[in-house]
Structure 1
Amino acid sequence: MILGFRTWLWAGLGMALLSSLAQAQTTTSSSANYTIGAGDEVRITVYGQPELTAEGQVSAAGMVVVPLIGNLSIAGKTSADAAYLIADRYQQGNFLKNAQVNLLITKYRSQVVAILGKVNNPGKLVLEGPTSLTQALASAGGIAANGSERLILTRAGKNGRPERTEYDLQKLLNYDADEIAPVWLRDGDTLYVPNAGRFYINGEVHAPGMFPLDRPLNVRQALSAGGGPTARASENSVKIFRQQPDGSVKELKAKPDDRVMDGDVLVVKESLF
């Protein structure tokens, strides 16, 4: 039942995410942030000057050939900034007055991210414009049945060292929360979906057994996965048996909001009254 639910859930999420992808690709403010890189193909047009229309691929050195100007470095610039630079060169070189230039990226090839781990279609993804973390996950076929909803994003920091950030998929998909901003991917990012953990519930619950820990859960949520406490249960006497780094097992008195960890055993004791 759990696997079937996850399959149904990802089918629905896939449609929602692909829909949001189409919307995001047309968002001007986001698209304006894409920076041109080597391998991208561009089309340059000048208003009123059709003979100056040109198409080309950005070279490994970040250059593109512009009519009348020659090789011009546009790597690292947005489309708008590159168009402004070309217009300025036309005017500074006395080729045109009040040049109005448009630069369109026709093929995105320079920015690539890796999607690894427990997804249905792991591999590399070329960023064809602004792409959020959830959109990239949808393009990889969603999380596999044994994958976690705890997402790990690794990217180069300001000092060049990799920085690792964890995200909760459910929070990222909470479209009703305006404070949850999309996580936009960058060239060189690695998105990793780890294997789902597991926890165990024993004692006075309706459905004891092993359950996947595929997203952050507290004790209250974990007990609901086991069908909830029985009428004989003492909800104030829930114990957690947690393995320690040295291999020993520690017994903890659980509170409803305590977070469940991978490998935890939750025991719900019977009420004495």
Structure 2
Amino acid sequence: MQAYVQKIFSVFVTILMITLGMASHAQAQVAGAQTAPEAQGAPPASAALASADAYRYIMGADDKIRVIVFGEPDLSGEFVVNGQGTVALPLIGEVKAAGLTVTQLQEQYASVLREGYLKDPRVSIEVLTFRPFYVLGEVSLPGEYPYVNGMTVMNAVARAQGFTYRANKKKVFIKSATTEQERAVELTSTLTVQPGDTIRVAERYF
């Protein structure tokens, strides 16, 4: 009799463990479904923001862009914004690019192609290489340097071989590519550089 009871108890425990295991598996599937977009490589919010910023970027001389007209390889290619702020695009020739966002140039090119060239052109433009920035003043190697996305002023100074012993390390003067006047800015580790910026490190006063 005791052996029979033990057998019944063993079967009950086995069924209970199976039931609990199935419940845990179901919960794992629900959790997996909730995180599936992230697991499949869906871009985080910060990446989406970076992409949106790229389309708001104001173009200028020396920017290199890639133009893609879908289904029209002869109208696609890589082009450079020249010193006059224009870019030579297939069929339409020189058009103004400096001062425009990527989206504005994209829409402008599509609009011209739509007027007598293509019925429904789909145009995509992206910046391949940003215009350089400049570091002047109290640095060891003043000059022009290629821009890298996310670069800080401290990174820029490091590219210029660091400060001289006379440098004012508390603030710098920055002139953007779209302004005539430079502005004094407190130098922090998070102060960023934009394409075309001129950074001037002044001499400190003793």
Which blocks of at least 5 consecutive residues in structure 1 are unaligned?
1-22, 174-181, 198-261, 263-273
Are 2:152 and 1:132 aligned? yes
TM-score by length of 1: 0.47
Q: How does 1:1-273 map to 2 (within 5 A)?
A: 27-91=50-114, 93-109=115-131, 111-117=132-138, 119-128=139-148, 131-143=151-163, 147-155=167-175, 160-167=180-187, 169=188, 172-173=189-190, 182-185=191-194, 187-192=196-201, 194-195=203-204
Letter in 1 for 2:143: G
Q: Which has the higher strand share?
A: 1
Q: Which has the higher helix share?
A: 2
TM-score by length of 2: 0.59
Quote how far apart the aligned CAs of 1:188 are: 4.7
Quote how far apart the aligned CAs of 1:159 are: 8.4
Q: Which has the higher contact order (CA 8 A, sep 6+)?
A: 2
Percent identity over the alignment? 21
| Alpha-carbon distance change, 159 to 98 in structure 1, aligned in 2, over 3 angstroms | closer
CA distance in 2, matches of 1:29, 1:138: 29
For the 8 Å contact 2:167–2:201, the answer to whether it is kept is no
Quote how far apart the aligned CAs of 1:30 are: 4.2
For the 8 Å contact 1:47–1:100, the answer to whether it is kept is yes
CA distance in 1, matches of 2:54, 2:82: 22
| Alpha-carbon distance change, 73 to 124 in structure 1, aligned in 2, over 3 angstroms | same
| Alpha-carbon distance change, 59 to 185 in structure 1, aligned in 2, over 3 angstroms | closer
| Alpha-carbon distance change, 52 to 160 in structure 1, aligned in 2, over 3 angstroms | closer
For the 8 Å contact 1:31–1:129, the answer to whether it is kept is no
Larger Rg: 2
1:270 equivalent in structure 2: none
How many residue pairs match? The answer is 160
Aligned-partner SS, 1:64: strand
Aligned-partner SS, 1:27: helix
Which blocks of at least 5 consecutive residues in structure 2 are unaligned?
1-45
